[in-house]
A and B are shown apart, each in its own frame.
Chain A
């Protein structure tokens, strides 16, 4: 996680967003020091609920910039992700993928310990950028923890997008990934050798498979009205002056004490 926190820090710095307004709901624990360094508000949510929690934060105060961080390959929170993308909630989802996968790029990772190799998963992983894209995300990207510069730029870019952006970050989980799968080689070296940058590639073609190199890059970058945009537009159209647009003046809403 540490390299990712550093990258996040760089990305936020690069985007020029006021750190005060950034909230990070995450189902991955952050060390308190990291939160202090980032100078943001941090919420550790129940597993898988970071995106739903972030939806509440954003709607409660539309002036916030919300960056839900989800791990676990979105097993628990997958539904919140697809629906968030459909609604186009203005949040940036960072999906930390430390896949435990048997073979990648045609090369088995499990050379060291055959005893363990057989226990690797046999399920196919999600193609997250494709899933995000098909549900309506306005920005999808994938980078590895090695692509620090690109990743920081991507975070900055995504923070300026209006709508649900998602960045899949392939990050090593040394404790489990390496012990379970017996990876003795340097995982970052592995990323270096086996990833290929293809910006604007059709997300359909970026599935991570055992046969091919990992495609990284920015895949989707488009505009769609956000949930709050549609909410305001539709209600204004029907209700006229009776409707106060949501988020128009966030500081006034609910008075001093909320």
Chain B
């Protein structure tokens, strides 16, 4: 299905990542956005407030993030494509209802512009420390899809992709952007509507009496319905059978939760998007996502000038994780270098997938800033020269870390 020309603001713009994401949502056919102001994601919500009423999308600023995400759940069952926008503490507040959305297989998109945490942290500066929260935030077993764009153009493109994935797999899709990308102003090209492919919701069209809201199609994804269609829906967050009725037995629990995770895990190949450059035969591979991948480009350039064979692997979709590809690359490469703006999150998944076949070096950053490309270059050099196997994940000492923590915990301004 093509996008509706009315929804697409075709043209060339100089806008920031937040606004691009807002425009992307509307282009993808999002008709309901609930949000709550929180730096640094507010611009995305403002863009929707400004443009939404002109394209028939309704917005509401709810009383809090709990309200926003609950309203998004309701609107999805009312039959429209929905999104909510948040950051930092708001994202933490939403976790319970994200689990509810995963349980009820509600297609929705959550834009999280990551900021420095924990708690209030540094609202106006960047961070990438919500990555594990996006994967494991709510209680119970479930799978989500998380995308990490690295430019305003990608914010537009991947917001549309996020909506498509949400509709195809009936699951929460998170856009795990960060403050740098959200507030980065760049050229964004919005194509014509007929160039934008959007996924229509997989709706049930059969007789009302036979509808089962959780009866999966062969790809494990059930057909969606909408309230008010005379289907006598019974939808609950309790473990439920195909009719949606609550059941307690271990059989059902296993069957139900198994499907929630399998519909993503077994479709991994179709979901995962990676961007690789020179990974074949590389000595060192830099694995990165979001803003860190933009910084890594410079680091890789410096390392290549020194004659090191460096490849880059960018996780466009961070979750589900490309286990097989990392394992495959671990056979041929010496080490993986993972720069991320936290003290180790995605790096542990990289280490898990190498099965001890390659060294894994973390280039940490505490947040409120991005890596110094020279640190990434030095880490690459270190990894390339280090012949013996390193135990677990090796944490590389960056310039910032050294200057701050020299001689114990001593903060220097």
Do any beta carbons of A and B sit within 8 angstroms of each other in the complex? yes
With A35-B234, A40-B232, A258-B201 in contact, is A253–B80 under 8 Å at CB?
yes
The one of B63, B70, B236 that contacts A56, using a Cβ cutoff of 8 Å: B70
Cβ–Cβ contact B232 & A56, under 8 A: no
The one of B67, B82, B243 that contacts A60, using a Cβ cutoff of 8 Å: B82
With A25-B74, A246-B56, A258-B226 in contact, is A60–B232 under 8 Å at CB?
no
**B237 at interface, CB cutoff 8 A:** yes
A253 to B97, CA, bound (A): 26
User: In the complex, which residue of chain A has the Cβ closest to the Cβ of B84?
Assistant: A56
**Chain B residues near A256 (CB-CB < 8 A):** 203
A83 to B63, CA, bound (A): 7
**Chain A residues near B77 (CB-CB < 8 A):** 23, 41, 43, 56-57, 60
Contact indicator per residue, chain A 36-53, by CB within 8 Å of chain B (1) or not (0): 100111111110010011
Contact indicator per residue, chain A 223-258, by CB within 8 Å of chain B (1) or not (0): 000010001000100010011101000000111111
A230 to chain B, nearest CB (A): 12
**Chain A residues near B237 (CB-CB < 8 A):** 44-46
**A121 at interface, CB cutoff 8 A:** no
Cβ–Cβ contact B236 & A29, under 8 A: yes
B225 to chain A, nearest CB (A): 9
Cβ–Cβ contact A258 & B236, under 8 A: no
Cβ–Cβ contact A59 & B235, under 8 A: no
Cβ–Cβ contact B70 & A53, under 8 A: yes
Cβ–Cβ contact A257 & B203, under 8 A: yes
B332 to chain A, nearest CB (A): 45
**A107 at interface, CB cutoff 8 A:** no
**A20 at interface, CB cutoff 8 A:** yes
With A52-B66, A53-B74 in contact, is A61–B79 under 8 Å at CB?
yes
**Chain B residues near A35 (CB-CB < 8 A):** 232, 234
Cβ–Cβ contact A80 & B228, under 8 A: no
Cβ–Cβ contact B203 & A258, under 8 A: yes
User: In the complex, which residue of chain B has the Cβ closest to the Cβ of A30?
Assistant: B234
Cβ–Cβ contact A36 & B232, under 8 A: yes
Cβ–Cβ contact A23 & B234, under 8 A: no
With A53-B70, A56-B74 in contact, is A79–B64 under 8 Å at CB?
yes
A63 to B226, CA, bound (A): 12
Cβ–Cβ contact B63 & A79, under 8 A: yes
User: In the complex, which residue of chain A has the Cβ closest to the Cβ of B203?
Assistant: A257
**B368 at interface, CB cutoff 8 A:** no
Cβ–Cβ contact A239 & B67, under 8 A: no
**B323 at interface, CB cutoff 8 A:** no
**Chain B residues near A244 (CB-CB < 8 A):** 56
With A25-B74, A32-B245 in contact, is A83–B67 under 8 Å at CB?
yes
Cβ–Cβ contact B67 & A23, under 8 A: no
Q: Which residues of B, 63-118, contact A by the 8 Å Cβ criterion?
A: 63-64, 66-68, 70-82, 96-97, 100
Q: Which residues of B, 227-270, contact A by the 8 Å Cβ criterion?
A: 227-238, 243, 245-246
Cβ–Cβ contact A55 & B67, under 8 A: yes
A243 to B52, CA, bound (A): 9
**A54 at interface, CB cutoff 8 A:** yes
A227 to B62, CA, bound (A): 12
With A56-B78, A243-B54 in contact, is A20–B228 under 8 Å at CB?
yes
A227 to chain B, nearest CB (A): 8
**A185 at interface, CB cutoff 8 A:** no
**B189 at interface, CB cutoff 8 A:** no
Contact indicator per residue, chain B 27-64, by CB within 8 Å of chain A (1) or not (0): 00101101000000000000000000110101010111
A43 to chain B, nearest CB (A): 5
**Chain B residues near A56 (CB-CB < 8 A):** 32, 34, 70-78, 82
**Chain B residues near A29 (CB-CB < 8 A):** 236, 238, 246
**B200 at interface, CB cutoff 8 A:** yes
With A231-B58, A258-B201 in contact, is A253–B232 under 8 Å at CB?
no
**Chain B residues near A53 (CB-CB < 8 A):** 70-71, 73-74
Q: Which residues of A contact B (CB under 8 A)?
A: 20-21, 23, 25, 29-30, 32, 35-36, 39-46, 49, 52-61, 63-64, 79-80, 83, 227, 231, 235, 239, 242-244, 246, 253-258
5 new A-B pairs (CB below 8 Å) besides A46-B237, A60-B78, A256-B203? A44-B238, A46-B70, A55-B70, A56-B73, A56-B74
The 7 closest A-B pairs by CB, nearest first: A56-B74, A60-B78, A60-B75, A56-B71, A52-B70, A44-B236, A56-B75
